[in-house]
């Protein structure tokens, strides 16, 4: 019988974290199950930082549906299976701390841990599950690149923010006859870029899945100029790269081994400069950055997050562990965490950035690609 559960939010934050937390807490309370929050992701599991969550008068989970961020924090540097520590000699070492975390789970009597996160978080979740911990994952990321689900929570809000930015860039671009470039996030997937380009009426979208030819992008802008349109709006995914070239990297982080430590960014500026030189039009870049992750979730994300939270708790009550809640054919479902992050490449449109990862990227037969091409959005190929 399920008595006590805990929620862990991990990785870069998204709008919708709190909506999932609220839905889990409410469903748990309706079934007489106690709910705790693990503070600051996997770090809190190691440091035994747990906080009771409730929707009772003055409870922590009250009034959080529209709130951005995460009331229980999140962490982007906490792979407990390869955890960075400074030893007594002041040297950096990487240690497997998973057994300490498992002991903490046992000591506090948690019957199930809900892991809200993207591919890195779910990989650790799968590894904990393999070691016998009852885990249920919920797919979070603005990048929408978690395998086996059609949509992650946080993504729709990010697209909406990018769409609004494009609307605003349109009017200033048109006024000053400029090329307006918008660099959006998304890591190695172009979901945010392509969907916001369609929603925001952009002329060009450069995505990681299609290496671009800058000359072709310039030709598209020149053709628009010939038709009297002396401004253009270009969306560039942070992971986009030129044909035969490589991704633009801002630097690397030192967030422990086993997580993606590449800090992407800068391609928008590069593209803007090249287009200015090639077309003779003035170009300006805007990097949207963390605007895509902060603030209140859209109605879509509030509903999706609530559905995911309720489903996660339902699965726990059924004692169905080692799974991720997903949307499959538009409906709530669950799949084994092994399929999501394992080496199982039989599951469709997946190929990760590392041999081990299963990222969901855009495939060329996706409706978004066809739609974009048919309305004349150039994809740089």
For strand 282-287 and strand 34-38, is the pairing parallel, antiparallel, or unpaired? unpaired
352: contact with ligand F6P by CB under 6 A: no
Name which position in 29, 119, 143, 195 contacts ligand F6P (CB under 6 A): 143
Name which position in 141, 152, 156, 285 contacts ligand F6P (CB under 6 A): 141
184, 237 contact by CB (below 8 A): yes
Radius of gyration of the chain (CA): 22
Minimum gap (Å) between residue 356 Cβ and ligand F6P? 17
Name which position in 125, 146, 162, 185 contacts ligand F6P (CB under 6 A): 185
293: contact with ligand F6P by CB under 6 A: yes
235: contact with ligand F6P by CB under 6 A: no
Q: Is residue 327 within a helix (H) or strand (E), and if so which, with residue range?
A: strand 323-328
Is the CB of 54 or the CB of 77 nearer to ligand F6P?
A: 77
Is the CB of 223 or the CB of 261 nearer to ligand F6P?
A: 261
Residue 39, beta-bridge partner list: none
Is the CB of 191 or the CB of 231 nearer to ligand F6P?
A: 191
Minimum gap (Å) between residue 145 Cβ and ligand F6P? 8
142: contact with ligand F6P by CB under 6 A: yes
Name which position in 5, 6, 8, 12 contacts ligand F6P (CB under 6 A): 12
For strand 249-252 and strand 83-86, is the pairing parallel, antiparallel, or unpaired? unpaired
Name which position in 264, 275, 283, 359 contacts ligand F6P (CB under 6 A): 264
E strand segments, 44-199 = 50-53, 83-86, 92-95, 112-117, 135-139, 178-184
Which residue number is nearest to ligand F6P in terms of Cβ? 185
Name which position in 73, 186, 190, 309 contacts ligand F6P (CB under 6 A): 186
115: contact with ligand F6P by CB under 6 A: no
Is the CB of 29 or the CB of 143 nearer to ligand F6P?
A: 143
**Site residues (CB under 6 A) for ligand F6P, limited to 28-87:** 76
Is the CB of 293 or the CB of 307 nearer to ligand F6P?
A: 293
- Catalytic entry in 119, 127, 143, 260: 143
Minimum gap (Å) between residue 94 Cβ and ligand F6P? 19
**Site residues (CB under 6 A) for ligand F6P, limited to 118-137:** 118
- The token pair that represents 94 in the structure block: 């990487």
187: contact with ligand F6P by CB under 6 A: yes
CB neighbourhood size of 313 (10 A)? 28
Q: How many residues does the chain have?
A: 381
State CA 58 to chain mean position distance: 31
267, 238 contact by CB (below 8 A): yes
Is the CB of 117 or the CB of 322 nearer to ligand F6P?
A: 117
Interacting stretch for ligand F6P, rule CB under 6 A, among 52-60, 131-139, 185-193, 209-217?
185-193
Of 3, 50, 33, 37, the closest CA to residue 115 belongs to: 37
- 104: which residues sit within 8 A by CB, 6+ positions away? 45, 46, 48
Interacting stretch for ligand F6P, rule CB under 6 A, among 180-188, 196-204, 217-225, 314-322?
180-188
Could you confirm whether 107 is annotated as catalytic? no
In degrees and rounded to multiples of 5, residue 234 shows phi and psi of -120, 125
Of 231, 216, 210, 153, the closest CA to residue 369 belongs to: 210
Query: Could you give the C-alpha distances from 241 to 155, 305, 350, in angstroms and in order?
Result: 22, 32, 19
> Counting beta carbons within 10 angstroms of the beta carbon of residue 370, is it exposed (0 to 12), middle (13 to 18) or buried (19 or more)?
exposed
Is the CB of 27 or the CB of 75 nearer to ligand F6P?
A: 75
- Our CA dihedral for 269, 274, 275, 276, rounded to 10 degrees, sits at 90
Minimum gap (Å) between residue 76 Cβ and ligand F6P? 5
Is the CB of 118 or the CB of 173 nearer to ligand F6P?
A: 118
Minimum gap (Å) between residue 186 Cβ and ligand F6P? 5
Angle at which helices 119-130 and 98-108 cross, to 10°: 70
Residue positions annotated with a catalytic role:
143
Binding site for ligand F6P (CB under 6 A): 12, 76, 118, 141-143, 185-187, 238, 264, 293
């Amino acid at each position: 019988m399920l008595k006590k559960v805990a929620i862990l939010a991990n990785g870069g934050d998204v709008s919708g974290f709190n909506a999932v937390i609220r839905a889990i807490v409410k469903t748990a309370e309706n079934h007489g199950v106690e709910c705790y929050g693990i503070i600051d992701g996997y770090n809190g599991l190691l440091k035994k930082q747990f906080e009771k969550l409730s929707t009772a008068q003055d409870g922590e989970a009250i009034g959080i549906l529209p709130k951005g961020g995460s009331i229980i924090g999140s962490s982007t540097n906490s792979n407990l299976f390869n955890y960075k520590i400074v030893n007594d000699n002041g040297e950096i070492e990487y240690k497997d701390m998973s057994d300490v975390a498992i002991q903490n789970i046992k000591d506090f009597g948690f019957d199930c841990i809900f892991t809200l996160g993207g591919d890195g978080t779910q990989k650790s979740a799968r590894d904990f599950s393999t070691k016998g911990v009852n885990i249920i994952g919920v797919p979070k990321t603005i990048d929408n690149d978690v395998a086996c689900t059609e949509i992650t929570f946080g993504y729709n809000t990010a697209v909406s923010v990018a769409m609004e930015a494009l609307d605003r860039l349109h009017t200033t671009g048109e006024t000053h006859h400029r090329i307006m470039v918008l660099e959006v996030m998304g890591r190695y997937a172009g979901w945010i870029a392509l969907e916001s380009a369609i929603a925001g009426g952009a002329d060009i979208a450069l995505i990681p899945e299609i290496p671009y030819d800058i000359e072709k992008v310039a030709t598209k802008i020149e053709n628009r100029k010939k038709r009297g349109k002396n401004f253009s709006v270009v969306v560039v995914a942070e992971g986009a790269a030129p044909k035969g070239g490589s991704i633009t990297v801002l630097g690397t982080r030192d967030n422990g081994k086993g997580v993606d430590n590449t800090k992407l960014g800068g391609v928008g500026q590069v593209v803007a400069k090249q287009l200015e030189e090639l077309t003779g039009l003035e170009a300006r870049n805007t990097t949207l950055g963390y605007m895509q992750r902060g603030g209140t979730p859209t109605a879509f994300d509030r509903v999706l997050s609530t559905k995911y939270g309720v489903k996660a708790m339902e699965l726990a009550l059924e004692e169905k562990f080692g799974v991720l809640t997903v949307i499959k054919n538009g409906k709530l479902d669950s799949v084994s965490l092994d399929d999501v992050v394992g080496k199982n490449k039989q599951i469709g449109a997946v190929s990760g950035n590392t041999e081990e990862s299963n990222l969901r990227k855009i495939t060329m037969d996706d409706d978004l690609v066809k739609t974009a091409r048919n309305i004349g959005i150039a994809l740089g190929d």
